[in-house]
Structure 1
Amino acid sequence: MSTPTLVMWRLGRSSPEEESLDDVAAVALAARERDVGMAPGQPFLLRPDGAADTDVLAFFTSSSFKMLSEQTQSSYAKDLRIFLSFLESQGRSWKGARSSDLLDFEHWRRRDPNNEHRVSGAKFSREFAACKKFFGWQHKRGVIPRDPAGDDIGPPGSTGSHSLRPRDARPVRVKWLTPRAFRQWRDVGLGGRLIDGTVDSSWRGRNDGRNAAFANLLWSSGLRLREAGTLLVRELPSPNTDAQFLRARLGNGVAKGRGRDFWMSAAARSQLEAYFVSTRAEAVSRARRSGVYEDLPGRQVVVGQNRSGLHLVNAKGQSRTISVDQLDWRERSNLFVQEEGGIAPAMLFLGDSGLPMHYESWEAVFATANRRCTQLGVPVTCYPHMLRHSFALRMLVTMLHAFDRRMGLTPDERRDYRMLFGDPWTLVQTLLGHTNPQTTRDIYLEPISGLQVDLFLNAEESTQAEQEFTDFVQRHLAATGLVNDGGGGP
């Protein structure tokens, strides 16, 4: 097999809602896409020359594909694009693909020394899952005579089989930050501080408060990027309480799998309030003065609410009622509310334009902060999901210590308490919104998966949970290389 120079298939997305389109041709295109079964914003693939392959498009409009979550649909489309492009570069049609092609693909993706962009076992495992679903569906439909992506496959004429599911694949390669490392990364990368904690006089950041508030929200709540990045102002809990953690609710349309309750720290909520009345209010005011909100295509303004949901009116004067639970990220970004000074976006996080930020744009904010930390010698790198991992680890350590030490329960009392409320693993599962507690154990909390509970039971008493966590990290977790405790400085 020669090292390929990929001839790429084209990745596209179907048109947004028809009401958000002004061009007549675009409206007609959206209508044709609906006729073939494509949902608004749905991914699909075209051949490298832009021609449509009807059988490939049929997969993307199938119920089998549409049953996947929005995030999985996007990932599978990108993964399948790589394999189809690989076949194209080898002069092969996907309809004639053999198991040996997948073996060649696996070698190129993971072990070919000439490939500068080799991937991990976990990444290839997902790519293989996308291929398996695609070819399995096409085989069942009768488009191809055999499925080249069976569980165990081998080259023609081989006497054995070879599993393409990597043995070293891990669902997620995760790392964690201690509180000290997080504060250092946030203050230097997002807040314009120097490594010694002083203000960088050359710093010209415009959205320090917004960015720090978002990072603190992830750190204190364990929310996923899409969940936090699409929050509506109305979904924030009231800040007027003496509780240390405040309870709120995520809608089905943006939560992974199902709506759920979540908790954020009171300190994080206070920072969000400060952002709302300062930087965000200024962005909204600028947008109103510039008329940004006046003729937005797809705009939906909330004009009322009852038990059935929100009453919305679009730019054409058409009305409808929808539950907050049903709002996906696109609908949230088009949602506006009426305020004393005029309409304003319903979503919490806005860009300089006064329009809602696309939740994936936070990746670029974090990447910029990482580059700044690297330039200033701060040995901490952070990405949004790392803060979710860190939240999970902190909560488990805190709960195990509180449960087995601070509560002062006898073994019988602990057993009764667990029967009534569940053990700390179950509580963390609830905080993260996992449907399966095994996910919590296997993925997010790997650093302690091999440790005995007595590491917590025998920990020295401390009145500060953060110090307990830091001491635990230094004694037991630092050697794994998965937990970053930062470098010098405060």
Structure 2
Amino acid sequence: MGPGQPFLLRPDGAPDVDVLAFFASASYKLLSEQTQLSYAKDLRLFLSFLESQGRPWREATPSDLLDFEYWRRRDPDNEHRVSGAKFSRELAACKKFFAWQHKHGVTASDPAADEVASAGGAGSRSLRPRDARPVRVKWITPGAYRQWRDVGLAGRLPDGSADRSWRGRNDGRNLAFADLLWSSGLRLREAGTLLVQELPAVDNPGQFLRARVGAGVAKGRGRDFWLSASARRQLEAYVLSTRAEAVSRARREGRYEDMPGRQVVVGQDRSGLRVRDGDGQVRTTTLDQLDWRDRARLFVQEEAGLAPATLFLGDSGLPMRYESWEAVFSTANRRCSQLGVPVSCYPHMLRHSFALRMLVTLLHAFDRRMGLTPEERRDYRMLFGDPWILVQTLLGHTNPQTTRDIYLEPVSGLQVDLFLNAGDSTGSEQEFTDFVQRHLAATGLVNDGGGGRG
């Protein structure tokens, strides 16, 4: 078992070699790191359910899966019933597990086949729920985001004035991170593991600057992304202030000298990075090959001493684990709630909102603002791509249907409303913005802050 790889033990603490063999298999390791963790948790739940029923998992039958589905989704005695979408993911984990075990002769049959016998012998039915729809994600409008950001992260009061009781120590870092997600649509792991050297130059021209996500932390493959120039300037301010102070403090306290597994960059060329380990051995790697653990151990040599290559650091001067940003957002949500601000936010919501803003902007550019004839619009789309495809590129999705089905539900009827209700193309940009705001608010999926500042 490799470092960080999930594994399960029996209730008595003993290992089950066949379960561990699945976690060590190529079938499992080819899954993304996050999917591996999710599947391990789902399997733990199902295997524990079987254990509670006195059923060895090697003897599991389709009826056991039907019982599990009933308990998870419809049992009135279960206070934690789940949606069809959640159960579908649990079923996918069971299917992969039992298909692998059956292929390797551990089980006589595969109880997680698509079609299973119904109770009482009344034919067969699919275990996959018919209502297994993607999770209804939430979005946030620009005004609501600014309100959440100012109150929750910057420590202001709901009226915009300074809160004299606020004692935030990492305001600059937290604001820079949130604005990075808001302006780029990066995933939490992608943004939370960025290296300083991966940021574009501050003086690059343009309102949006191009950078790259390394394949080792991206979901699926590396890709380009864009962040706003204002977000880049804020990141630079953080690097020169709060981050520099944390690094200086860590140097004085000797935190970097004996850090286990430390890798120091000693050079870079077209072939990649040359890094030296604690034994003095030098090897060559690339930014695409660095996963989040490698990045947390990577250091650079500055005039004043060693410094982490990772952009976002904790008070200790050591790299933050990207998962810890969830707690930062939760703390901001609690502050907003305590002050009566009806806005909450979490990291992936900013990715959803980025996708929504980009699509609305592109739809408007294609269908209204550019004043193109149908023929010109068709030619333009053939040259530059459909708005959905452009948003897919910005998000790094491999399948445009993911972009359509999961992230952008609020705009399902926007193009029709634009045609019927938005007036002619001579309307002002503010009129267009107000119209879209009304449309999105009517869906009930978009948080506009209850008409708060913005």
1:198 counterpart (161, 170, 179): 161
Is the partner of 2:383 in helix, strand or coil? helix
Is the partner of 1:452 in helix, strand or coil? helix
Shift of 1:472: 0.6
Moved more, 149-158 or 263-272: 149-158
1:289 counterpart (228, 252, 256): 252
Pairing 1:181–2:144 present: yes
Pairing 1:232–2:195 present: yes
Shift of 1:470: 4.5
Moved more, 434-443 or 341-350: 434-443
1:81 counterpart (33, 44, 59): 44
Pairing 1:334–2:302 present: no
Is the partner of 2:121 in helix, strand or coil? coil
Q: What whole-Å deviation, never above 9, does each CA across 1:155-211 have from its counterpart, x for those lacking one?
A: 565222232212222233311000011111111111111111112222111111111
Tell me the number of residue pairs that the alignment of Structure 1 and Structure 2 aligns.
Answer: 451
Superposition map of 1:468-487 within 5 A: 468-474=432-438, 476-487=439-450
Is the partner of 2:344 in helix, strand or coil? coil
Shift of 1:241: 2.8
Aligned mates of 2:200, 2:366 — CA distance in 1: 27
Is the partner of 1:320 in helix, strand or coil? strand
Question: What's the RMSD between the two structures over aligned residues?
Answer: 1.6
Residue number in structure 2 paired with 1:4: none
Residue number in structure 1 paired with 2:35: 72
Pairing 1:262–2:218 present: no
Shift of 1:212: 1.0
Pairing 1:407–2:370 present: yes
Is the partner of 1:302 in helix, strand or coil? strand
Pairing 1:271–2:234 present: yes
Aligned mates of 1:320, 1:283 — CA distance in 2: 29
Structure-2 change in CA distance of 1:462 and 1:223 (3 Å): farther
* Runs of 4+ displaced beyond 6 Å: none
Moved more, 68-77 or 445-454: 445-454
Residue number in structure 2 paired with 1:358: 321
Amino acid at match of 1:52: P
Shift of 1:74: 0.8
Aligned mates of 1:51, 1:162 — CA distance in 2: 36
Structure-2 change in CA distance of 1:161 and 1:223 (3 Å): same
Q: What whole-Å deviation, never above 9, does each CA across 1:349-407 have from its counterpart, x for those lacking one?
A: 00011010110111111111111111111111111111000000000111111122222
Residue number in structure 1 paired with 2:284: 321
Amino acid at match of 1:136: A
Moved more, 335-344 or 407-416: 407-416
Aligned mates of 1:427, 1:169 — CA distance in 2: 27
Work out whether residues 144 and 452 of structure 2, in 8 Å CA contact, stay in contact via their aligned partners in 1. no
User: Identity rate of aligned residues, in percent?
Assistant: 78
Pairing 1:416–2:379 present: yes
Q: What whole-Å deviation, never above 9, does each CA across 1:305-335 have from its counterpart, x for those lacking one?
A: 1111100001121111001111111101110
Structure-2 change in CA distance of 1:463 and 1:249 (3 Å): farther
Amino acid at match of 1:468: F
Structure-2 change in CA distance of 1:260 and 1:470 (3 Å): farther
Residue number in structure 2 paired with 1:95: 58
1:160 counterpart (120, 123, 133): 123
Work out whether residues 143 and 452 of structure 2, in 8 Å CA contact, stay in contact via their aligned partners in 1. no
Aligned mates of 1:240, 1:334 — CA distance in 2: 29
Q: What whole-Å deviation, never above 9, does each CA across 1:261-306 have from its counterpart, x for those lacking one?
A: 0000111111111111111111101000000000000100000011
Q: What whole-Å deviation, never above 9, does each CA across 1:413-471 have from its counterpart, x for those lacking one?
A: 11111111111111111111111111111111111124435616863556547x73443
2:360 counterpart (389, 397, 414): 397
Aligned mates of 2:168, 2:161 — CA distance in 1: 15
Shift of 1:489: 4.0
Amino acid at match of 1:92: R
Residue number in structure 1 paired with 2:90: 127
Is the partner of 1:117 in helix, strand or coil? coil
Aligned mates of 1:430, 1:457 — CA distance in 2: 29
Aligned mates of 1:358, 1:470 — CA distance in 2: 39
Amino acid at match of 2:376: E
Structure-2 change in CA distance of 1:304 and 1:446 (3 Å): same
Residue number in structure 2 paired with 1:302: 265
Shift of 1:112: 2.0
Scaled by the length of structure 1, the TM-score of the pair is 0.89
